């Protein structure tokens, strides 16, 4: 069934995977956070947990991540915003109020199937423009074109990210099972923090080196979800980035093709301890 037919037969269809890692990571985080398929979520469903999300992001552990994900100008850390809770809730609800169904085309650079106004900057979408400081972004642009639905999805990205020191690992895969697994791990992290009252922010396990963290996470995926591999030909792209305003560094991209995955599955079954030493 084509995407067009899928949209036409599902009147509540808002979210669609885009190939944009920031948007897709947010969509899978939304699905796990609401425990409901993203293809059936409506603005009314989404509004129910906005206050809960805002309260989470306003804890000290999560606020420290917001500086590096959405810069210090975001609604959770901007010192000029007195009532950050009210401001953040209003922002998310305003996005919901401007949701629209998928169309055949549009100006949004993520979904390409809805129109995108106003232009979004990096306090809403990481690594986009900085408003009048046009030297920050390629093409001297003030920002980028993201529709309200894709912009809303990106606000859930912190739930999906893996922290490595001052930077973050963002995983993207064509494997639905891998993305669901990673999103589930993110929500498990949130649930554990709520239960303990110890809010530390994005997923983290003490890794500072991106490559070491990457192989550690892949090892966990292989151990926990071996059923992925007989049914799919998974590959993963890992994006290492920071959106922090000071001392910016370029994004690093690591691509693990399916052949590497299958090798890692093989050594996991044969003698993973020797591979770990190597």
- CA dist 275 and 278 (Å) reads 5
Helix (H) / strand (E) element for 254: namely: strand 252-256
Mean pLDDT of 133-150: 77
Verdict on whether the full-model pTM lies above 0.95: no
Mean pLDDT of 99-113: 93
The answer to whether residues 33 and 49 touch, using CB atoms and an 8 Å cutoff, is yes
The answer to whether residues 7 and 155 touch, using CB atoms and an 8 Å cutoff, is no
Q: Of the ranges 3-17, 219-233, 237-251, which is most confident? A: 237-251
Count of Cβ atoms closer than 10 Å to residue 107 Cβ: 13
**pLDDT for residue 16 is more than 50:** yes
Termini Cα distance of the chain = 46
Q: Residue 131 contacts by C-beta under 8 Å, 6 or more apart in sequence?
A: 121, 142, 143
**pLDDT for residue 233 is more than 80:** no
Task: Specify the pLDDT at position 221.
Answer: 83
Sequence ranges of the domains in the chain = 12-277
- CA dist 21 and 97 (Å) reads 24
Mean pLDDT of 4-15: 55
In 3D, which of 114, 135, 113, 116 has the Cα closest to residue 125? 116
**Would the CA dihedral through 176, 177, 182, 185 be positive or negative?**
positive
Q: What is the tens place of the pLDDT at every residue in 116-135?
A: 988 898 899 998 876 666 65
Q: Residue 165 contacts by C-beta under 8 Å, 6 or more apart in sequence?
A: 208
Mean pLDDT of 253-271: 75
């Amino acid at each position: 069934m084509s995407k067009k037919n899928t949209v036409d037969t599902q009147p509540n269809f808002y979210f669609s995977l885009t190939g944009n890692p920031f948007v897709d990571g947010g969509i899978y985080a939304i699905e796990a956070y609401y425990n409901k398929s993203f293809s059936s979520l409506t603005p009314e469903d989404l509004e129910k947990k906005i206050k809960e999300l805002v309260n989470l992001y306003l804890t000290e552990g999560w606020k420290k991540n917001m500086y590096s994900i959405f810069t210090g100008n975001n609604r959770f850390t901007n010192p000029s915003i007195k009532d950050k809770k009210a401001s953040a809730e209003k922002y998310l609800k305003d996005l919901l109020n401007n949701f629209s169904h998928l169309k055949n085309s549009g100006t949004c650079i993520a979904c390409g199937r809805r129109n995108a106004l106003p232009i979004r900057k990096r306090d809403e979408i990481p690594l986009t423009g900085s408003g009048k400081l046009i030297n920050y972004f390629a093409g001297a642009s003030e920002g980028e074109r993201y529709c309200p639905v894709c912009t809303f999805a990106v606000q859930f990205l912190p739930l999906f990210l893996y922290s490595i020191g001052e930077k973050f690992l963002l995983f993207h895969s064509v494997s639905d099972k891998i993305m669901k697994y990673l999103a589930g791990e993110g929500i498990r992290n949130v649930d554990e923090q709520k239960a303990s009252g110890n809010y530390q922010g994005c997923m983290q396990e003490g890794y500072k080196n991106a490559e070491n963290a990457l192989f550690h996470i892949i090892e966990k995926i292989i151990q926990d979800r071996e059923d992925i591999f007989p049914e799919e030909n998974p590959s993963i792209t890992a994006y290492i980035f920071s959106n922090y305003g000071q001392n910016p560094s370029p994004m690093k991209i690591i691509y693990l093709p399916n052949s590497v995955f299958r090798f890692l599955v093989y050594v996991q079954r044969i003698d993973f301890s020797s591979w770990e030493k190597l």
